[in-house]
Amino acid sequence: MKAAFITGHGGNEVVKIQNYTLPPRAPGEVRVRVHAATLNQVDLYMRNSGAGITHQLPQILGLDASGVVEEVDAADPVLRPGQEVVIHPGVACGRCEYCERGQTVLCTRIQFLGEHRNGTFAQWIHVPATQVFPKPAHLNWAEAAALGVNHLTAWRMLFTKARLQPWETVLVFGVGGGVSLAALQLAKAVGARVIATSRDDGKLERARAQGADHVVNSHSGDVVREVMAYTDGRGADVVFENVGEAVWPLAMRSLGRGGRLVTCGATSGDQPGADLRRIFVRQLQIFGSSLGTLAEFRDMLGFVGRAGLRPVIDREYPLDALHAALDHLESGTQFGKLALRIDGH
Ligand SMILES: [Zn+2]
């Protein structure tokens, strides 16, 4: 089959788009014919160094996907060939104490597609049948693929961790990114107010079109002052961020009393000042989060279907153009997701 895999670490020269022999499907696994996948920052990380992520070369990239079930155990109670599906990218062991408690996303042996096992940038993938869920019918292939990382991550952050309520205000930093846009969509869909920031006025305009109630240019504007003015001096209930050090002091000062900050990334650095006095005096809470459980995935898919949400796709590339897509991702100029179309080969 055709697949995109890394043979080493460096630039695009280590990313090959070539023939790759898919190992046989194991019992309990399902063979999915991939139609679309989307790019995530971790794809660049795997290409550049992959440091700290145990993997073998060659490693097929790609975490999320949508596609069609081609082959599944006859005894599978749910899946049938021909079903349109989306894939949850984290394969948990099912045996550790975290798995036993249902916290599969904390599994000590979790394997992510595209990091620890064959990824989705390929014509076919084998994954345990438990990872495969019906595709929301209103979405196209690229939109559906985008749910597997971005919307799942944002769902857990907003609703499981920060417990965002419909009457609250959430401040979303860096709204051009896929996870931040997913947060904007999900928060609006439950009725919360959203303030969005970006360094790019064009992205802020588009965030408004996606439903942001108020937008702030974090480069030319004063985020804290704008948040306080918009909330009548009270501050945001929830801050949603994955930028890290560059925005952390602003994030902390934008929170109202009892506010919650939830983070899933640190692209600008991971050692900001802790601001401990503010944390205890104002009784702030800080949550780390990453991806989400199978149960959260199921809940999120049901909600996205009922609310009719559509992930924002900036551009679709054919699998053969992955190098250009990775360059685009690295440039940071995209609004929403970059997707790969994998059918048609
Ligand atoms: Zn486990």
Question: From the CA of 90, how far away is ligand 1's center (Å)?
Answer: 11
Give a yes or no: residue 298 inside a domain.
Answer: no
Domain assignment present for residue 303? The answer is no
Distance from Cα 105 to the centre of ligand 1, integer Å: 8
Give the Å distance between the CA of 291 and the centre of ligand 1: 15
Ligand 1 centroid, distance to 98 Cα (angstroms): 6
Taking the centre of ligand 1 as the mean of its atom positions, its distance from the CA of residue 131, in whole angstroms, is: 14
What is the 91 CA–ligand 1 centroid distance (Å)?
9
* Residue 336 structural domain: 2-139+311-341
Residues in contact with 47: Cβ distance below 8 Å, sequence separation at least 6, in sequence order:
6, 9, 10, 11, 12, 14, 15, 61, 326
Q: What is the pLDDT of residues 205-257, one digit of tens each?
A: 999 999 999 999 999 999 999 999 999 999 999 999 999 999 999 999 999 99
State whether 212 and 85 are in the same domain.
no
Mean pLDDT score of the chain: 96
- The structure's pTM equals 0.97
Q: How far is the CA of 104 from the centre of ligand 1 (A)?
A: 6
Å from CA of 116 to ligand 1 middle: 14
| Cα–Cα nearest to 32, from 161, 102, 174, 127 | 127
CA of 106 to the centre of ligand 1 (A): 7
What is the whole-number distance in angstroms between the Cα of residue 101 and the centre of ligand 1? Answer: 9
pLDDT of residue 267: 87
Q: Could you tell me the CATH number of the domain that includes residue 174?
A: 3.90.180.10
242 to 57, 97, 174, 262, 267: CA distances (angstroms): 29, 28, 8, 8, 7
At 56-81, the pLDDT tens digits run 999 999 999 999 999 999 999 999 99
Average pLDDT over residues 13-34: 97
CA of 109 to the centre of ligand 1 (A): 5
Same domain, 238 and 135: no
Are 59 and 182 in the same domain?
no
Whether residue 96 is found in the same domain as residue 161:
no
Residue 41 — left, alpha, or beta (φ > 0 → left; ψ -120 to 50 → alpha)?
alpha
| pLDDT, tens only, 276-321 | 999 999 999 999 999 999 999 999 999 999 999 999 999 999 999 9
Residue 74 tokens, joined:
């006859």
Answer whether residue 271 shows pLDDT above 60. Answer: yes
Query: Both 123 and 162 in a single domain?
Result: no
Q: Which residues contact 286 (CB under 8 A, 6 or more apart)?
A: 260, 261, 262, 263, 279
Q: Is the pLDDT of residue 328 over 50?
A: yes
Q: Quick one: CA dihedral 306, 309, 315, 319, positive or negative?
A: negative
Strand 124-128 to 29-38 pairing? antiparallel
Which pLDDT belongs to residue 345? Answer: 44
Shared-domain flag, residues 220 and 270: yes
pLDDT above 70 covers what percent of the chain?
99
- Closest to 112 (Cα-Cα) out of 66, 46, 23: 46
CA of 300 from ligand 1 middle (Å) equals 22
270 alpha carbon – ligand 1 mean position (Å): 27
Residue 344, pLDDT above cutoff 70: no
Find the 54 Cα to ligand 1 centroid distance in Å: 16
Q: How far apart, in whole angstroms, are the C-alpha atoms of residue 128 and residue 288? A: 27
In a domain, 304, yes or no: no
Ligand 1 centroid to 112 CA: how many Å? 12
Question: 220 and 158: one domain?
Answer: yes
Question: Based on the domain organization, do 283 and 156 belong to the same domain?
Answer: yes
Q: What's the gap in Å between 89 CA and the centre of ligand 1?
A: 14
What is the C-alpha to C-alpha distance for residues 216 and 201, in angstroms, rounded to an integer?
Answer: 9
